[in-house]
Chains A and B, each alone.
Chain A
């Protein structure tokens, strides 16, 4: 009876987890997603705890309290440190799976074949390898992200690396096969169990060592996937469907994120999946020799002034240098001059997927608004005050005229031409010509340029 109730509670918890991820699709509902996740987790914990097999409660309470004591400070880290925290958290998840697998193994060893089935052994070795591999791999990744001195930032490669990995894999395979072949655990195979565990721990290190700091977004996603898969393996060991479903959700999330990361970096997913990071990176670095042009501050200011469209692409450096406010100032200054400013964020910018979408939020700069709904004007920027003011400042024709004759939109700046020197006129002329041409080109199919139209309608609404 109670077992049926527990299974029902597990179904509810699974549904809540799915809803939790579903609500993450929109920033408006995302917080409901968190609450649903918390609810699902509480249901799962309480339902498990209520089972009649659970007879010792003291240790559970102690472990949960300790978890809170460590977990709460861990959630208060600064946002630039979020990747490290995530990696550390994957390490905890992997450790949990590995430890439960180990505990189960020794339990079967002490109980004999009465409660165990032959297939359970291979499942538990799978859980152990995934768990421990995630544990050391994530610890190393966290160390790299934290930039600890004794962990090399550069990818570590050596000749015959794949050979060594393969040899270790075969060794692990044979050892785990010997521990798991027989239905009745023999003392000889039990002595091989530590070998299996240690090899799994080494795997994690070998997997992460050849990866440089720049590839961390991909690595974190993959480790996320591994952490989920180790929970799935635990579900197979414990015959628990909740573990399987929740772990699979996590595993697929890591999978999708790493595919997105790979696509954004023009790397094939299979290469990353099989751990050949170092080699791939070396070849692509040689293959592409793109040139770039550095610019002085004065030169950059000049170029920005003359541009009609500026796209700012913030990177992790901006967040580390706390330059969000300066970027905001530049943004405001450019908007004052009537220059369109847009923000573009590369999917792998920052150190974990979507990192740059979170970081600038502290600086109150308009990144997310421009990304989300196309309104690239901040609410408090002076350009938004009133349509008429803006029009007068920019010497634009009235809205009605613009709609009738779109090529007039940027025409004739009588005040400006007088105020500026000859040099400005010369610079202004080609720019205006370009604008007129564009406007003329756009005229037959105005429906396509919805961005500009929306901006106008937004400003007219506010007037």
Chain B
């Protein structure tokens, strides 16, 4: 079968990674400006669509059709998240940006 996987990582080391990245996340997000909480939420939304990785692994591998179909639906869902999440974040931030640029361009 096509399921020759990456050498399995043991559970404790994965928990370790989880713990460390949670602390990094808390440290980084604590400093996010209050102005940007809504864009931040769309951005993390898009980032949490990293589930796309798992969906691709399930969809593309040599698995039975019904399993790959489930994977394809998951892939579609996370791809929607990625696209709309990043686009809307960019759209919101553009509004912040043009205001600043406008202020600088016309100092009157």
Contact = CB atoms under 8 A, between A and B. Distances in A.
Interface in B3-37: 3-6, 8-9, 11, 14, 17-18, 21-26, 28-37
A34 B93 contact: yes
A256 B67 contact: no
Contacts of B56: 45, 48-49, 54, 60
Contacts of A96: 49, 51-52, 54-55, 74-75, 77-78, 81
A71 B34 contact: no
B83 A67 contact: yes
A75 B91 contact: yes
A428 to B, nearest CB: 32
Interface in B54-91: 54-64, 66-91
Contacts, number: 384
Interface in A102-123: 102-104, 106-107, 110-111, 115, 117, 119
Interface stretch (A233-241, A317-325, A331-339, A442-450): A233-241
A34 B89 contact: yes
B25 A21 contact: yes
**Which of the listed residues A72, A79, A89, A243 has the most CB atoms from chain B within 10 Å of its own CB?**
A89
A350 to B, nearest CB: 8
Contacts of A64: 75-76, 79
Given A18-B28, A102-B70, A257-B41, A75 B50 contact: no
B78 A93 contact: yes
Contacts of B66: 106
A256 B29 contact: yes
A34 B88 CA distance: 10
Given A30-B93, A247-B50, A220 B40 contact: no
B96 A361 contact: yes
B41 A224 contact: yes
Given A54-B57, A246-B48, A99 B26 contact: no
A44 interface: yes
A383 interface: no
A97 interface: yes
Contact of A239 (B6, B32, B81, B83): B6
A20 B45 contact: no
B35 A372 contact: yes
A95 to B, nearest CB: 5
A237 B52 CA distance: 14
Contacts of A254: 44
A252 B26 CA distance: 5
Contacts of A99: 55, 70-71, 73-74, 77
Contacts of A110: 64, 67
B26 A255 contact: yes
Contacts of A227: 45, 48
A431 B29 CA distance: 44
A88 to B, nearest CB: 9
A27 B36 contact: yes
A68 interface: yes
Given A60-B75, A224-B41, A71 B80 contact: yes
Given A93-B48, A245-B18, 9 more contacts: A18-B28, A21-B25, A44-B50, A231-B50, A241-B14, A250-B47, A354-B38, A354-B40, A357-B38
19 contacts: A24-B36, A41-B47, A56-B62, A60-B59, A67-B77, A75-B83, A76-B87, A85-B88, A93-B48, A96-B52, A111-B1, A115-B3, A241-B9, A247-B50, A248-B22, A249-B47, A256-B26, A347-B37, A368-B96
The 10 closest A-B pairs by CB, nearest first: A67-B79, A354-B37, A71-B83, A252-B25, A54-B60, A75-B87, A250-B48, A248-B21, A246-B50, A353-B37
